[in-house]
Structures are given as structure tokens and as C-alpha cells.
Structure 1
Amino acid sequence: MQLEGDRASWRGGWVGAPQSVDGSRLHRVAFRTRVDLATTPTSLPIRISADSRYVLWVNGREIGRGPVRGQPYRWTFDSYDIAPDLTVGVNVVAVLVTFYGSENAIWQRSRAVDGLGTRAALVVDAPSDQPGLSTGGDWLAQPLDAWSTTPARGLLGALPIEILDQRLLNDAWKTAPAASAGFAPVGSAHATHPGSSRRSRPPVYPYGALRPRGMAPLEGAVVSPDVARVTRPGPVDEHTPVDTVHRALSAAAQWRDEQGPEQSTGPADPILWTFDFGRVLSGFVEFDFEAPEGTVLDLAYLERSFDPSKTRYLPVAGARVIASGGRGRFRALETNGLRIVAVLATPPLRGAVTIQQLRVHEHLYPISGGASYSSSDADLERLWRAGRRTVHLNSVDAFTDCPTREQRAWVGDAVVHTAVQLVANEDWRLIERHLEMSDSPRPDGMLPMSVAGDIESAGRYSIPDWSLHWLHAVWLYARTSKRAEFIRARLPTAERMLTWFEQYMTPDGVLTDVPEWAIIDWSSVFTTGKSAILTALWTRGLAEFAELSEWVGNHGNARRASNLVARITPAFECFWDSDRQLYVDHIVDGCQQPAVSQAANAAAIVAGVVPPDRLEPIVLRLTDEDALVTRGWNSASPTVPLDRKIQDRADGVQRVDWDVNRQIVRAEPFFSSVVHEAVAKAGRADLIPGLLRRWLTFLEDGYDTFGECWEWGTPAHGWSSTPTSDLVRHVLGIRPQDLPRDAYLIEPVPGQADWTTADVPTHRGLLSVEVRGSHLRVDAPLPVVIKTWDGQSVERAAGTHRIDLATGALVTSVPEPRATTGRTEGRT
């Protein structure tokens, strides 16, 4: 049995519940059909999609979940072969479809006003010899009223809180040969706009021609907690599920923890369990329990131990389960990031309540292939692994900022994720997916700050520098993957975005008064007036656009961008403070302001606007710990409390609380990737191992991930993961040579460790490097250029080579190329 390919015509049409549902609210609809078989097929492929999300079962076994997030006008489908789960006789195919109603961090509502796009809908396509499996007249549906939710609260209430009343749910609908009462033939979900002809088969507005998801299914291990404790917190006022647990946790802080049996002792005695997994996880929370009918179990997901004095940035994530009586099981429909699960059973309790086998089923994009890093310096190895783990937790159907609070697909954050994935995962399809999904410009050409969710849908202000970081990620991917056609498709957006900045260019060639939210990172930097940081990042973007355009044959665009760079370079001198021998952050009303940051000077270096004789002196100043100060607009300082900082931000006040004439503001972990790039470009990559050790401060109390900022923020933030890529690209010096030539540079820093080995993905397979003392061993699937410690460039064809880095002497050479992994076009 075959489907005719991803772009074949669909036999199935979009269908919905025959009953009326409120499309403005979260609702879930159960769909099912029967497949009667005289013999089991060797293959039975199907295609499936839904709005907003689906869970697919065959004969009660979960097959998959989807679709991946995206803009509604370029929606995707998933493919499965369900033959292994079929048997002779009656088979039940069941699908639960969730329609979120209100936009959230991972879902963007279509702009349809009626019909398709305004309520839960499903489409399934199957081979012609199984017509009943394609969505149509053989399918039945029923809205399920067992679920509800509470309204989202701001950015930290990013996903709906699942409230499940199991008294209203009978899971037999997934497996029973005959449908229960309440199921009725599905209704056609069709487009209602003029000219639609009431079409329901793809392609149809608002989803267009459904696209294949184009990347691997999410997966992960089932993880049990390290520590489980039970506490009796005393009376707790009932609020929303998560707030109720937070209040219980606050009360429990005054009570003695008990290590005894995990069950309550009386009907008026609330009981609170906490399950600590010892590290941040991301996936579906699930547990078995036993409780009398009507027992309310409230869950809160925490990223660290609860502190009642620190609740400003507390994740608003959790669930509520109402027991049907006796033994029960809960598996969340939404993924969440957490370290601790707190479960509260509140009165009235009609008997004992027991929780068993609480666990998290991780749901992440897989790490594929043999990428690795090891070193005699255990700290460097820990840093490489922690960065990969942090990005892994933020790699799902997009690159996200953090698993515990938001799960949004931020456009600029992903430049770090991209750099890490390129050196630590042989599967690069998620990179392409995120770059393409982020290629969603506003009418004026600027990219949204976050895509495929509530922020993009609302058309809110953007972060101008995030669009520039997106372009840098495109440039990084181009140099590594050599995927010219994919890159060519991104360049029109890049051109419009870069042109957007020109309206803020002064006659002398620098950017001034750029509106919207120039975050840079959370450090206390200034971008008002003439901005050194934004001008430098824009200049880097123009130079990278010129390089990409020249590569794909757009020579006119390349010349125009290069001419702009040539115009900006001398103009950038206006930011040079000759007394401090550094670039200032900004100029207001023609006067240099005294604030100086790592961000401004590093951005200037990577933009190529710094004269060569200044490079090393600037880098030495930027890395002088005695001159650096950590300050952030969102964090307290020795002189200004956090509440005052927050109020200042709301009032548009940027208060200087450091010695602005003597100190340099340190970049937070995100922009440190630019700082390290600048250090390497200045020829001082030998400083980077020492700079990276600052990240060790995150790896305490069991955490194996990097936090958002030096002094506050989430404990697993993808944008902080630069050590993983920096150890490979700057310390071992393994990176693509340039765009035109398909070769790699290898330029190890001397004295980094007694020995270091790495296996680094390339679009032709793994490139293996081992450095022991001054001896370098390279096993390369493509040509390499080795930079020795005495300044030589040694070129070698694909193969295995041994070279003395101190002298450039060839120790052993085996020029025959090794077998490659068979990857094509940068994909596994």
C-alpha cells in the first residue's frame, strides 16, 4: 500500500465535530474510525494533521503526537506506518484533537472568521484501498467535556493549565470495537470565504498546501525522581491549581518534612508531595494514583526549590486532576520543563490517597550521530556537555528559550542553539525548520521577536537585534551545510530586514534612535541615540549578507551591502573614546556618553570596523576582571533593589548603578557568544578557556544546564549555551574555512589541556580531531587547512593526518579519504 508522496492529492478532507463547540475556548474532540482486516498488511502509511494538536492511537497504543508548531498559513502534516499495530479483525484508530482557542506560546490562531480554522479539525489520508481510514463519512466524533483550563497569565503563563475531571472520561473510546453513545458522524470542516466552494480537502485556506514536517519525531527517556517527600502543610485556601500548590508550598516551609508513607491520614488533612528529579527535564508528567472519587490533585511544576520570598518569576505551570475513584493514571497532554513536581491533595478527602510512580516522559528532538568532546580538563568537558544538554532541553519542534517558563520560539535566541547543534548533533533538520519558520517578516520587513505563537499573531513590537542574530544563524548554517538553495530562499527576507534599518541611518552612516525593543541581552547597556551596538550588529549583518549574496550569484545585492559597510566603517569612529581606548555604547545629542560595555566593543570587532592595531588591546581590556562589573536592568545591585529596578524599567528609566567612568559592563551569557567571537577574531582564543569557566557557576546543586543570566533567570536557558560551540570553533579551532571552498580550518589553541578529542559534524560526515601536547591527529571527510603554532598553513586532502603543531612537520599522512556517513545536503 502506498501514498503517492508528500505532495500527492489528499483523499481525506478536514473534518470536525458534528456538535456545536465554542471555538473561542480550549476544547478537545475525540475522533475514531474502524479498520476491518482479513489479513494484516506489511505496510499501511497514513498522513495526518490537526488544528491545534493531536494524539494518535491505534488499538490503544499511542503512535504519535503533532503537528509541529508553525504559522497556520504554512501548516504541516506527519506521516506514520501503522501496519505494525494492526491485527486481523476490527482495529480502532483514535485521535484526540485539542483546539486551544486562545493563542499561546506554541500556537498561533488563523485569521479565519468562520468554518475551517476556528475550531478543532482533523485530516487523515490513507491509501486508496483503505478509503474508510481517510477522514470522511466513516469517521465518528464527539466533543469531550472532561477537560478545561484557566486563563493564561502573561508571558510566564505560556501554556494552558490542564484541568482533567476523570469522572467525565471513559478511555474505552480509544479501543472499543463499537463507539459509545455520543459519537456521531463527523461534519465536514470547510473553508467559508468567498470563492472557497466550501472546499475541505487540502490545499485549502487557512492551512494551504500541507507540508511534511521535515524533521525527526520527538523522543526521550522515562525518568523517575531522585527524591520524593511528603509534607502536611495545614489548611490551604483554594485558588487556581498552580496558585493553590504555591500557597501550600509556602505554608509547608513552616512545617517539618516527613519521610513516612505517601498517603493522607484524615479527611481534613491536606497532603503535599514533592518529587525532585535532581536536574531540569522537559516532557510529559505522568503518574499512577489511588484516590476516592472527587479527590482533587493539584500539580505545580517548579524549576528550583520553592522560595516564598522569590516569586516574581515563578513558572505558572501545572495541572489539576479530579479522580474518578479507585486506581487512576494521569499523563499530561502538554509538555513542561521542570525539576520538581509538587502534588497537593486537598480536603474533603474521603479516604486514603496514594501517588505511585510519578515520572517524566521526556519529549525532545533527538541527538543523532557521534558528535563528542572529551578532555583531560574535566571542567571543559563538563561545560561542553552542559551546553549540549541545555540546547537539547530547548530543542523540540522549534528552538525555544526555556522549557520551564515559556517554550516560545524566539528568533534571536536561536543563533546560539544553531551554533551548538552544528557542532554537537549530526541531524541539522531542526536548524532548517527554525530558520524557515522564523522567516516570517512583518509587512515592513522586520521579523517578529518570537514566531508561531501569541507574540507573532498579536503583531507586537519587535526586537531589531533579534533579526540580525537570525541572519547570523543563516550565515553560520550556510558555511557549514553548503545548502545554497535553502539559503537563497532566505535572502529576500534578509534584504528587506537590513533595509528596514536604513531609515534610522544618519547622514554620516551610523544608526540612531532605532525604535522598538533593543534588548542586546539583559545586561545594562545603552542603545538610545546613536547606538554603537546596533550599528555594529547591522554592519556585521550587511557583511554576511554580501558574502551570502555573492555565493549564490546575487552580485548586485552583494555590492550594495558591501558599499554600505564601507560607508559605515569610518563613521563608526564617532564612538571611539581615545582616553579610555574603548568604544562607548552611545552618543546622545552629539555628546559621547560614558557607558562602556563588552557588548559594544565585541560587536565592533566582529563587525570588522576596528583597526587591526586596536584589536588585542581592546580584548585585553574587555577580559580584565578588575574592570568588569555585572549589572542588569532586571536584577538588583548593591545600591538599587529589584523592585526599584522593575519600576524604573516600567518608567523608561535606565539608572546607572556602577562607576560608569571606570567600569565595563559585562555581557550576560547570551551576548558572551559575540564577546568570545571577538576574542578569537583578535587572535586571543587562548583566553577563551578561562572565560568559559565562569559558566561553571551554573553547574551546582545537581543542575547540569546553563542559566539565563549571571544573577537571575531560568536554570536551563538555551541562549546561554555558547561554551559548547566555543570549545570547538575557537579553542580547538574547528570551523568551515569559507563559503566558496568546501574545506575546514583546524587551529587548536596551544596549552588548552594535556589532551583533547572531538568528533565534529560536517555535511560530509564526522571530522575527528585529537590533540596531545603538540601532536595533532585529524581524520577528515573533506579537505582541511591546519594552522600551526608557528604561523604556517598546512593544507591536506580528506583523510587521516598527523602533524606536529609546534613545527608543522608531517608526522604521518594517510591521504585516502575515509568512508562518509552518507549524509547529503547537511542532513541525516
Structure 2
Amino acid sequence: MSKLILCFILIFQINLLNGQDIWEANWITYPDSQNESNSWFSFRKDFDLKKLPEEALAKIAIDSKYWLWINGEMVVFEGGLKRGPNPKDTYYDVVDISAYLTIGSNNISVLGWYFGKDGFSHISSGKFGFLFECITPEITILTDASWKVIQNEAYQTCPSPFPNFRLPESSIRYDATKDPGKWYANDFSTKNWKNARVLGTPPMSPWNKLELRPIPQWKDSKLVSYAQAPAFPFQYNRDTTITCILPTNLQITPYLKIETKEEGHIIEIITDNFMGGSEPNVYAQYVSRKGVQEYESYGWMNGHKVIYKIPAGVKVLDLKYRETGYDTEFAGSFTSSGDFLNSIWEKAQRTLYITMRDNFMDCPDRERAQWWGDVVIQAGQSFYALDTLSHLLIKKGMYELINWQRPDGTLFSPIPAGNWDKELPVQMLTSIGYYGFWNYYLNTDDIQTISDLYDGVKKYLHIWDFNDNGAVKVRHGGWSWGDWGENIDLELITNMFYYLALKGAANMAEDLNLMEDVSEYRQLMEKIKIVVNSDFWNGTAYRHPDYKGKTDDRSQALAVVSGIADKEKYPALLKIFKKEEHASPYMEKFVLEALFKMGYVDYAIERMKNRYGDMVNHPEYTTLFEGWGIGEMGYGGGTTNHSWSGGPLTLLSQYLCGIEPIEPGYKLFQIVPNPGSVKHASATIQSVKGIIKSSFENSNDIFKLNVTIPKATEAIIGIPAEKITTIKLDNKSIWKNGSEINNKEILKYYGIENGHILFRVSDGVYYFEAIRND
């Protein structure tokens, strides 16, 4: 049974247990808590058990994060999600603890971390609280005044430089001289601990309604050795720096085991991504006690290298790390005869994964923020690169976007956020439109989510105004951002993205049977298309009359991918794409997609190599950059792991190898490769219907295509038509000299469209061989 199915079963069981959000447990806190930022608390509950439950679902909520042990064994490593599902409410986890319970004495121990500050990915409640509830016929465990608690004073805050204001997390300093011991072990006594203070039962302020965590708990590698590190034990008689190499860019928590003869040695732990995008990220410090000791810093970091600054007098016995991250597998793959294409796809996949955790994020260092312009590009990659558990993170972000919608209809991101509230109109249009919400539905067939969120989409579209000629007026919102870089024709970009938003909304409305809305949207689309082609096309390029810069390559690309530009304009547009290069890596995805859609495959690949070459070929990084360079050469600060640069991953799987859904949920899809001069390429994706494969070999004499079509689906197969005289399926002729030859394995022959000979097939594995003749 797949992890996704198990996840949905668990959610169903939890919803049954929840009833109408009735909770018996109380929110509790440390009695002397001052709700200071970066506060840590240890809770413990000892109890006896006469009979083991077959299942024991514990519901756990906290602001902000927790670590759970039962009978000394770690059960959850970093539970809890950053607040919030909307501006007021809080997420809660559900964990089956039955496997960790024993007959007789038991203890539940929880370490809680209170961020205590807002960020671009978290809205602080302003108050620390913890909630635990587990009710079965055999056991009832509820947070109340009987729970024991201390403020864990070993956890402190590192000195400056502090993390930049976008991050709610603090840098963690651990003073082992204040270590309370193994307080989660069965034989530990809490006689000197205080009883917890009861605050009340949910829903109550400031945490309000509790919403079930919609994504899995993190993947956890446990502690593992570095790819490269010195041999241990290791000791210098002077201060030294040890650099440990990770196998790739990872989200990690660093570990050390040391021996010292005196207390007070300060060890600093930092990664090569500490200055992520020019502003400080998090780091860690450890203050030693005497003797042999080990410590793992629970604040996750990311990078390719972990750097330990070791003072004289410290013997290093071992250094390790734990990788954690979103629980999804690299189910998609791509290979080809082009080394560059393979590298950019692989680096994009790695960059995508490093930007997933509580939410999709622009980068894992400077911000960790769910900018929805980034999410649209990331979601597109997820469908081709990851397994279906990744869909849950997209869905979470969609609900958050609409649940944070203001009463006046405006949308903004990043959300959740406690210190950001500015609308980026173009990004919001992208989010709710064809490449955003519609693409999610097209890949998942999740009509319930679309039904739930559609009114928010409609509300946002209706706050926009129009000029007398039918063009959309630019909304300046809180930040009139169209892209990084220069030569941005914002009027034109706005009209293109509003058109794409209407296109996505019309498709969603049609599947929701809201035909009046469909008619409204399509009439608006026609008006925009007319005005763009009549008023903004000057015969050689699309330009708004008021725009004075160089011709904007982004605008031309959007005209193509939206369907506004007709084929007669393609040669003129190609000339522009060969001359103008203004798009950032984020918007370059649409430029390259336009080239693929127009049929200029070889130039699309040539431009891809030219534009992305520096970051793809850079030997020090396994991830893609925010801008075309790093640091001062990059945009927005220049991070080295920005998944909005991964658009080529989607294009290589979708266009080069040709895999694309036609009907929601891949009930019907196409495999229509566009090989250009690429000699061979193959792609595998995990769709909601199962594994899909496309693999071609391309030479002057023959084109071979192997496809795998999952059960209960049908696919339209496209063979490039140029110079083809004969097509065989499993060594039997099915097409010759322009005519179909009857074959029971072919459901339908469509003829030649857009340069491809099209056939429809049902589920199975097929081998096509097309003969070329000069």
C-alpha cells in the first residue's frame, strides 16, 4: 500500500475521532513562562498501563516545534508546523504511539521550542503553549496540571549575527553545563520539576481553532557519517576548523561527540550557506562540560559543507549529521544523450527538494518563505520529479493562499507570515491561474480542493479593473513586481497573466459546472486577446504603447504560452528570442516553453545552455541559483538554491519527452516527444494513476519510442512526422505513406497535427518504430 494511501487513511481515522473538534485536553505551559523568543521547555508525564492498545492516536499541538520521546525512545523528530493555516488558527499533528508503549510504567517526554517571533513563514501566537491528547479504551492521556515541566535553560540564543528578520527561527546555543540530564529516560525523577499551568481547552485564544497537519512527518535519515570528514578521534593543541562535506545540498541537524578536561569550551557550527543570499541564516554553538559528551543541534541548517570551529583542548570523538526533509521520493527521472540536459534536470530536482519542508520556500536559508510565484514553478516540477506525496504540500499552500485572503478580495504572499502583508499582483494571478491552481487539478483530479477554493479565485479576479479598450489595468498592490532584471513591460505582462488566470478559472468553473462564470471568463479572454493583438502588436513584437525599454522577451513568451499569439507571428518572435535576454531564471521558464511550443526545440536547448550554463556547470554547487550568478551577481541577494530556476526540468519531461495530462488526473494524457536533434531521451513520472514512461531514440533513419501507460488510462501517442514513411507497433505496421493500417491495439488514429502523427492507445507497454526516408 502506498504512503499516500496510508496518509489518507490516517487522516480519515483522525477526522472520525475528532468529532466536531471537541478536545478534552488542556493547553498547558510553564508556570513562569514570559513567552520570550527562543524559549525551550521540557514536559514529562509518567503513567502506568495495564493493557496495550492496538492503536493510540495522539493529537499534539504546539507553538512552535516539539520533539517527542516515549520510554526513552525518540518517536517524532521535529513535530509541529509553522503557524498558520490562516491568520488566526494553528496546526496540530497526529501520531500513533501504540508501538512505543509497554505494560507497566511508561513516560511521555516532550521538548518544546517556542520561536516567539514572526517571520515570512510563521505567524507567532505571542504565547507559548503545548497540547497532548490520546484517548483509547485502554488509555487516556491529556495535558493537564499533572504534567511536569521545566524551562530547559541549557538552550540559549547565539550571539550576533542574528538570523535576518524573515526567519522566525533563532540560532541555538546549548550550554551543556546547564544540561538537565537524560530527562526523557525511564529512571529519571521529576520531583524538582514544576507542575504545568493549565490555560484552557481548545478552541481558545491565541491558538484558536486547531487544523490537522495536512502533510506527512519529516523523512529522517537518523545520524549518519559525512561524505568526507577527518578520521576520529581528532585533537589539535590549538584552535582549529573542521570542514565536513555533505553528499549534496541537504537540510541537516549537526551532531558532535567530544571529550574535554574542563568546561566552557565554545564550539561553533555553521554551514557554507550561512550567508544565504547575502543575509545571515542560522548557526549553532555548543558550550562544553567536563568529560565525554554528545550533542545534536535541533535547529536545521542547509548547505554542502558543515564547519565545526573547535577550540584547543577539545578532543573530537565523532561528527555526524541527520538529514530531515519533506517525506517524498525522487520517483521521477530523466536521462538523455545531452550531458547538460541531464545535469540541469538533476540539479533542478535537488533544488526542488531542498526548498520543501513546512511549506514550499523560495530558499532554505535567507527566507524559507512561501512566495507563490516560486510555488507555481515548484509545483510544476513536483509532478515530474517526485512521488504523489508531494501533491499534499502543493495543496497545503493552495488552502493557505486562499485562507489568508483579505475581506476586500486581495491575495498576498508569502504566507503564512507575521511580518509581511504586501500584494504582488502578477504573482497572485500566476498562482490562481492556468499554471497554478488549474495545473494542480489537471495533475491530481482533486475536484474537492478546487471546489473549496474556487470562490476565492473568483473574488480575486473581480477586484481587477479594465481600460476602455478592454485591456487590464495594472494593479500596483503592495509591490509592483513583474520579475527581477530590466526591460519589464509590466502592462503587457499583467494582461498576459490575467488572461492565463482567466483561462485557468474558466477551466475550473467548467468542471464545477458553473457555466455562467465560464461564459464571463471566456468573453473577457476574447477581449484581452483582441486588444493585445490589435493595440500591442506592432508588426514585429508585442509592446505596450507606453513602454519605452528594449523589447521584453518575457512578454513575447507569455503571448505564446497563453495562446494569444498566432502561428504566423512565430518567425518574428523567434528573432526576438535570439536577440533579447532580459528574463530572470524564474521567467526564463516561460521563454523556453514558448520556444518548445513553437517547435524551435534546438534553439530552446541552445538558449537553455547559454542562460543556465554558469550555474549548471559550476562544480561547487548541486543546486541552481536565484539569479544568473551568485552573491552580487544574483538577483534579490543571490542565493545558491532557488527552485524557481528549475523550470527546465518540467520542460524536458513535458515537451522533449512529451508527457503531459490532457484530462484531470491523467485519465487521458499524451506522450508526444519533441526531439529536435537530441539523439535519445527518456523520462519517468509517477502520476496519480501510476508510473508513466517515455523513451525515444532519434536518428536520421529511424525514430523509436517506448511508452508505458498505466492501468485505467488512455494516451495519445505522437510520432514526429518529418520524413516518416512507415510506423510499426511491436513490429507490425500501423501507418504507411500517410495512411493508417488497421491494428486492434490502436484505439483511434487522429491524423497529422502540429507536426506529429497521432494515435490513441489504452494501458500497456508499447514499442513504436518509425522509418524515415530522405
Q: CA deviation at 1:387?
A: 1.5
Equivalent residue runs for 1:661-700 within 5 Å: 664-694=580-610, 695-699=612-616, 700=618
* Alignment check: 8 A CA contact 2:250 2:302 kept: yes
Deviations 1:343-382 (A, max 9, x none): 3345xx6xx1133433331111133374332333333233
Given candidates 125, 129, 136, the residue that maps to 2:138 is 129
Q: CA deviation at 1:134?
A: 2.1
Q: Which residue of 2 aligns with 1:168?
A: 178
CA 1:784–1:124: 2 relative to 1, 3 Å:
same
Equivalent residue runs for 1:164-313 within 5 Å: 164-190=174-200, 200=201, 202-221=202-221, 222=223, 224-228=225-229, 262-265=234-237, 269-277=238-246, 279-291=248-260, 292-303=262-273, 313=278
* Alignment check: 8 A CA contact 1:416 1:722 kept: yes
CA 1:125–1:261: 2 relative to 1, 3 Å:
closer
Given candidates 544, 559, 574, the residue that maps to 1:604 is 559
User: Structure 1: how far apart are the matches of 2:665 and 2:184?
Assistant: 55
Secondary structure of the corresponding residue to residue 672 of structure 1: helix
Secondary structure of the corresponding residue to residue 613 of structure 1: helix
Q: CA deviation at 1:743?
A: 0.7
User: Structure 1: how far apart are the matches of 2:40 and 2:731?
Assistant: 57
Q: Which residue of 1 aligns with 2:79?
A: 66
Gaps of 5+ in 2: 1-12, 631-637, 725-729, 747-760, 766-774
Deviations 1:453-501 (A, max 9, x none): 3xxx235322212212212321111111111121122211212222233
Secondary structure of the corresponding residue to residue 379 of structure 1: helix
User: Structure 2: how far apart are the matches of 1:545 and 1:601?
Assistant: 22
Q: Which residue of 2 aligns with 1:595?
A: 550
Q: CA deviation at 1:758?
A: 2.2
Establish whether residue 540 from structure 1 lines up as the match of residue 500 from structure 2. Answer: yes
Residues paired across the two proteins, number: 706
My pick for the range that moved more, 406-415 or 493-502, is 493-502
* Alignment check: 8 A CA contact 1:162 1:320 kept: yes
Question: What amino acid is aligned across from residue 62 of structure 1 in structure 2?
Answer: M
My pick for the range that moved more, 396-405 or 3-12, is 3-12
Q: CA deviation at 1:391?
A: 0.6
Establish whether residue 144 from structure 1 lines up as the match of residue 105 from structure 2. Answer: no
* Alignment check: 8 A CA contact 2:154 2:178 kept: yes
Q: Which residue of 2 aligns with 1:637?
A: none
* Alignment check: 8 A CA contact 1:223 1:359 kept: yes
Q: Which residue of 1 aligns with 2:652?
A: 727
Q: Which residue of 2 aligns with 1:659?
A: none
Q: CA deviation at 1:727?
A: 0.8
The RMSD of aligned alpha carbons is 3.3
CA 1:597–1:575: 2 relative to 1, 3 Å:
farther
Establish whether residue 341 from structure 1 lines up as the match of residue 341 from structure 2. Answer: no
Q: CA deviation at 1:94?
A: 0.4
Q: Which residue of 2 aligns with 1:633?
A: none
Given candidates 461, 465, 471, the residue that maps to 1:498 is 461
Deviations 1:416-451 (A, max 9, x none): 110111112222222212222222213332222201
Deviations 1:712-763 (A, max 9, x none): 2222211111122111111112111245993102210134533322222222
Given candidates 569, 573, 578, the residue that maps to 1:618 is 573
User: Structure 2: how far apart are the matches of 1:733 and 1:596?
Assistant: 30
CA 1:557–1:791: 2 relative to 1, 3 Å:
farther
Establish whether residue 780 from structure 1 lines up as the match of residue 741 from structure 2. Answer: no
Q: CA deviation at 1:41?
A: 4.3
Q: Which residue of 2 aligns with 1:446?
A: 410
User: Structure 1: how far apart are the matches of 2:405 and 2:242?
Assistant: 46
Given candidates 292, 303, 306, the residue that maps to 1:327 is 292
User: Structure 2: how far apart are the matches of 1:319 and 1:508?
Assistant: 56
Q: CA deviation at 1:816?
A: 6.5
Secondary structure of the corresponding residue to residue 704 of structure 1: coil
User: Structure 1: how far apart are the matches of 2:97 and 2:226?
Assistant: 33
* Alignment check: 8 A CA contact 1:11 1:134 kept: no
Q: Which residue of 2 aligns with 1:248?
A: none
Question: What amino acid is aligned across from residue 381 of structure 1 in structure 2?
Answer: N
User: Structure 1: how far apart are the matches of 2:534 and 2:228?
Assistant: 58
Equivalent residue runs for 1:73-152 within 5 Å: 73-110=88-125, 118-131=127-140, 133-149=141-157, 152=162
Secondary structure of the corresponding residue to residue 593 of structure 2: helix
Given candidates 337, 340, 364, the residue that maps to 1:403 is 364
User: Structure 2: how far apart are the matches of 1:786 and 1:270?
Assistant: 64
Provide the TM-score with structure 2 as the length reference.
0.84
Q: CA deviation at 1:7?
A: 2.5
User: Structure 2: how far apart are the matches of 1:420 and 1:142?
Assistant: 45
Q: CA deviation at 1:57?
A: 0.8
User: Structure 1: how far apart are the matches of 2:512 and 2:254?
Assistant: 47
Deviations 1:10-44 (A, max 9, x none): 55423323422112433112111123234544433
User: Structure 1: how far apart are the matches of 2:48 and 2:117?
Assistant: 38
* Alignment check: 8 A CA contact 1:598 1:675 kept: yes
* Alignment check: 8 A CA contact 2:79 2:217 kept: no
* Alignment check: 8 A CA contact 1:67 1:76 kept: yes
CA 1:56–1:542: 2 relative to 1, 3 Å:
same
Aligned identity (percent) is 20
Q: Which residue of 1 aligns with 2:691?
A: 766
Deviations 1:642-664 (A, max 9, x none): xxxxxxxxxxxxxxxxxxxxxx2
Q: CA deviation at 1:299?
A: 2.3
Secondary structure of the corresponding residue to residue 411 of structure 2: coil
User: Structure 2: how far apart are the matches of 1:816 and 1:398?
Assistant: 37
Given candidates 442, 447, 464, the residue that maps to 1:484 is 447
User: Structure 2: how far apart are the matches of 1:513 and 1:180?
Assistant: 59
Question: What amino acid is aligned across from residue 138 of structure 1 in structure 2?
Answer: S
User: Structure 1: how far apart are the matches of 2:249 and 2:736?
Assistant: 41
Deviations 1:663-704 (A, max 9, x none): x24312111221123223323345433333343432332422
CA 1:316–1:809: 2 relative to 1, 3 Å:
farther
Deviations 1:128-163 (A, max 9, x none): 4312x2222432222222222258553565631112
Q: CA deviation at 1:516?
A: 2.8
Q: Which residue of 2 aligns with 1:657?
A: none
Q: Which residue of 2 aligns with 1:525?
A: 487
Q: CA deviation at 1:532?
A: 1.0
Establish whether residue 709 from structure 1 lines up as the match of residue 627 from structure 2. Answer: yes
Establish whether residue 26 from structure 1 lines up as the match of residue 38 from structure 2. Answer: yes
Question: What amino acid is aligned across from residue 629 of structure 2 in structure 1?
Answer: E
User: Structure 1: how far apart are the matches of 2:733 and 2:640?
Assistant: 41
CA 1:802–1:270: 2 relative to 1, 3 Å:
farther
My pick for the range that moved more, 729-738 or 70-79, is 70-79
User: Structure 2: how far apart are the matches of 1:678 and 1:296?
Assistant: 55
Secondary structure of the corresponding residue to residue 34 of structure 1: strand
Secondary structure of the corresponding residue to residue 328 of structure 2: coil
Q: CA deviation at 1:768?
A: 2.0
Deviations 1:311-338 (A, max 9, x none): 9715432012111222222222222212
Gaps of 5+ in 1: 111-116, 191-199, 230-258, 628-663, 794-798, 820-828
Provide the TM-score with structure 1 as the length reference.
0.78
Secondary structure of the corresponding residue to residue 289 of structure 1: strand
User: Structure 1: how far apart are the matches of 2:447 and 2:14?
Assistant: 30
Question: What amino acid is aligned across from residue 219 of structure 1 in structure 2?
Answer: K
